[in-house]
Structure formats: structure tokens, C-alpha cells
Amino acid sequence: MGTLGVAIVGAGMIGAVHRRAAVLAGAVVRGVAASSPERAREVAQAWGAGRGYAGIEEVVADPQVQVVHICTPNHLHRAMAEAALGAGKHVVCEKPLATTLEDARALAALAASSGLVATVPFVYRYHPVVREARARIAAGDLGPLRLIHGSYLQDWLLDPASNNWRVDPALGGASRVFADIGSHWCDLVEWVGGERFAEVSAVFETVIPERGAATGKSFATPAAGGETRAVSSEDVAAAMFKTREGTLATLTVSQVSAGRRNRLWFEIDGAKASVAFDQEDCERLWMGFPDQREQVFVRGPGAGSAEQRRLSILPAGHAQGYANCFEAFVADTYRAIAGERPEGLPTFEDGLRSALIVDRVIASAGTRAWTPIA
């Protein structure tokens, strides 16, 4: 396979992350589409990309593009992914795959029938110590699972002046905090623990009923004062799951927890041992044992599972983080395009699974009842 030509659709924070990962994986960024043709030309010049596209139609018509990275607000995902797959392009689509379960099903079916590579950036799978946790659970080191628990906490929407397209259900979907970050936690613990959720009981709360009317960039500092508007999407959520094997799992998610920048944390407790992972301290995997022993596994290429060693591209003590996860995910996507089968690569099928869980969580939060997950 020759050098891949890619197009980045969306020029915000996450679009820039995709662009960097694509370049580091050896691709050429042929162009970028943004919120307007003028913005696309401006960003293309800043990125050294070939051109600024007027829209998705120009992107999919470009014969130099083999891969389309979709990094737009959620409500645009289905139409853009359909256009790219229909034009024979491989697709990397930001999560959530779509804002409804029906749209996610349609996209997953289209990707499966096309024979093209279509992936979703559940990139926390690519922390090396996460791979270590998964390998140890698969090997039986924890024994039968007894409990799964954790949280995903942020604070970037704590200030009532803060607003963003994600807050608007018309752009972000019916769920905000759970679909945006709770989905990452659910994907991660199902994949690491090897057990799938079978039912859920959830509750949503909007704790900031009005926000500044002006929307800003994700994670940006808001401007004080000005007009406000009512908020209908949730700021915090709690969910209790049971897996198909009967293991209880609990999750708290928030975008209004002061001092928590991006804290995805989980613990999986088994009959013989426990493991815990903190995304803000991602060089270490904690393990606990019933005989008062504790063990900390430190990321590095010299020990642990094969996948942990593969993804440890720097020596121990030379910190890796989120950007390295994203780079590894994009590199694995391109390897899949070349015919390889990288372990743990999240595809549109995983995006569909996530959409199903989110749909059932929304339903449970509406009824306050235990709700089955198919």
C-alpha cells in the first residue's frame, strides 16, 4: 500500500489531534473541511494541508483521499460517514457514532457491507497499562469478577458562563455527559473486563439550569456576563449495570466536578485480585491482593503483556499519555487498511454497541426503572 491520503473534516481541537496522528502514522493530509469554506482555507494553510474543501461533497470527490476523518459535531456524523463510505473511502468517525441508535445501526451495517475499514476513537484502549489489565483478567489472574466501579469526571462546564455545541441536544444528541464521556468508560470496562452489560438503572441531573448563550470551544475559558439560555441536557449522571454474568457495575459521570480535568477511573475487583486505572495517572496500574499485598505495574517496554510492550514506545519514566493513545489508534487503523488485524481496534461495531448502551441509559433515566440492554 502506498502513502495514504487523508482528509480531516472538522477543524476544532479534536480535528487537530486527528491531523497530528495521521501525519505521525505516515499519511498525507490532502485537505481539511471546516465550518465554512473560508475557515477551511485558513486551517489548511496553517496545517500545511493541500486544500480547504467547501464541504463533504468535495472531500469524497477527491481521488487523492483514501481515508476521511470525521471530527464534527455529532448530528453531522451519519450523513458524512455515509457519504464517505458510499464513495469508497475508509472512515475514522468521532464518537458517538451517531446521535440515535437507528443511525448507528445504519452506519454499522453500511460499513460491514462495504468491506471498508471504519473505526471509532475509543482511544483509552490504547493506554499500555490498560492492555496489561485486560491481559491479566483474560489470563484469570483476578479470578471470577465480583464488582466493577468507577467514574469519569471533568470540570470544563462547571462555570454557568460555559457553553458549547455539545450542550444543545439538536447538535450533540439527547444525552450530553453520558454519551460524551460515559460512553468511553463503558467501552473501556466492557473491553478490559470481558463482560458485557445486560441491564441498567440510570439517573440524569441538570444542575446548571441556565448557561451563557454564547458557545465556545471545548475546554475553553468562558467570557463572563451576557445573555443566558435554558439547558435541557444533563450535567451529571449515575448508572448501575449488571453484566450478563451477573457482576454489578456502578458509574458516575460529570462535567461539573471542580479540579477534575479528565479523570477516567475504573476498578475491577475479582475473587483473587483487583486492578485499578486512572487516566490522569496513566503510567501505572494498581493491583491489590487479599493477603495485604499491593502491586503497582509501571508502563514500559521491558515487561508485561505483548500488547503492553508493543504500545510502550518510550522507556519507563518517559511519560506517555492521551496523544500517544490517539497516535497508536490511528496507526492501527491504517494498518487495518493495509490488511493487518490489530488487536483491540475499535470499529463501527463498537460504535454501535456504545450507541445501544447510551440509548438504554437514556431510556432508564427517563423511567427510573431497570432497563434491558440487548
Q: Write out the residue limits of the CATH 3.40.50.720 domain(s) in the chain.
A: 5-119
Peptide bond into 301 cis (omega under 30): no
CATH code for 5-119?
3.40.50.720
Cα–Cα distances (Å) from 41 to 7, 51, 148, 248, in that order, read 13, 7, 47, 51
% of residues, the chain, pLDDT over 70: 97
Q: Write out the residue limits of the CATH 3.30.360.10 domain(s) in the chain.
A: 125-318+347-372
Length in residues, the chain: 374
Q: 343 pLDDT band (50/70/90 cuts)?
A: very high
CA pair distance 371, 184, nearest whole angstrom? 20
Catalogue the long-range contacts made by 85-88 (C-beta closer than 8 Å, 24 or more residues apart): 85/110, 85/111, 85/114, 85/116, 85/118, 86/60, 86/110, 87/60, 87/61, 88/114, 88/116
pLDDT at 72 exceeding the cut of 60: yes
What architecture is domain 125-318+347-372?
A: 2-Layer Sandwich (3.30)
Closest-CA residue to 67 (of 107, 115, 118, 20): 118
List Cβ neighbours of 125 (8 Å cut-off, separation of 6 or more). Answer: 131, 187, 188, 191, 325, 329, 344, 346
Q: What would the pLDDT profile of 173-217 be if each residue is shown by its tens digit?
A: 999 999 999 999 999 999 999 999 999 999 999 999 999 988 776
CA pair distance 73, 264, nearest whole angstrom? 22
Where do runs of H (alpha helix) occur along the chain?
13-24, 37-47, 56-61, 77-86, 101-114, 128-138, 169-172, 177, 183-193, 306-311, 322-337, 348-367
Q: What would the pLDDT profile of 212-258 be if each residue is shown by its tens digit?
A: 988 776 666 666 667 899 999 999 999 999 999 999 999 999 999 99
Q: 127 pLDDT band (50/70/90 cuts)?
A: very high
Three-state DSSP state, 296: strand
Single-letter code of the amino acid located at 55: G
pLDDT on residue 1: 57
Single-letter code of the amino acid located at 18: H
For the record, the C-alpha cell of 10 comes out as 472538522
Name the pTM for this structure.
0.95
For the record, the C-alpha cell of 119 comes out as 473505526
DSSP β-bridge partners for residue 285 = 297
pLDDT on residue 97: 96
- Please return the burial class of 114, using the count of CB atoms within 10 Å of its CB with bins 0-12, 13-18 and 19+: middle
